[in-house]
Amino acid sequence: MKKHRMTSKTFNFNSEWALFLDRDGVINRQLKNDYVKKWEEFEFLPGALEAIAIFTKIFGKIFVVTNQQGIGKGLMTETDLTQIHDRMIEEVRYEGGRINKVYHSPFTEDERSVFRKPAPGMARKAKIDFPEIEFEKSVMIGDSLVDMEFGKNLGMTTIYLRTKDRVTDVDVEIKQLADLIFPDLITAARYLSENN
């Protein structure tokens, strides 16, 4: 099994590589038993903006891939989500970062859509929009088993963030699927910057 802890392993990420980021629990604070339905409910996690600025210097393309079943449940609209993401991208840019595009799945878990993680639909959309993407030269960062499965289904390097479970042990399945594990996005960014 691959080493997944923070080791002395070095990487050769460069502008040919793409980064895929989950949103809730990775970039912004995840609401308990709720969805971020408007910008006023969106709160960047500590260090997230700095982390994306660091990633911008490493990766050629940066994407956000996010399941947003609040739309499918009728709790928010596509327009609501677009407004949130437009502001998010603007704030990221203001702090020296870049997000090339956001892909979202509005489908509920019950619909089992190919566009809902862990299925690869959102990454396939990105590949259509940016044909130069090679999934073997891509990194997926997320805070759930679904994110790790999404990345591995596409042959990506996977990084798990322990933003949800700082105290408890990481699930065995996640340990098997995650190449690296960090407490949060900024720690991951600094590590990749120093060991690249």
Residues that are catalytic: 22, 24
Q: For residue 27, which of 56, 59, 50 has the smallest C-alpha distance?
A: 50
CB atoms closer than 10 angstroms to residue 96: 13
Strand stretches in the chain, DSSP E: 18-21, 61-67, 101-105, 138-142, 157-161, 180-182
Q: How many CA atoms lie within 13 A of 138 on its CB side?
A: 27
List of residues 6+ apart from 180 with CB closer than 8 A: 4, 5, 6, 157, 158, 159, 160, 188, 191
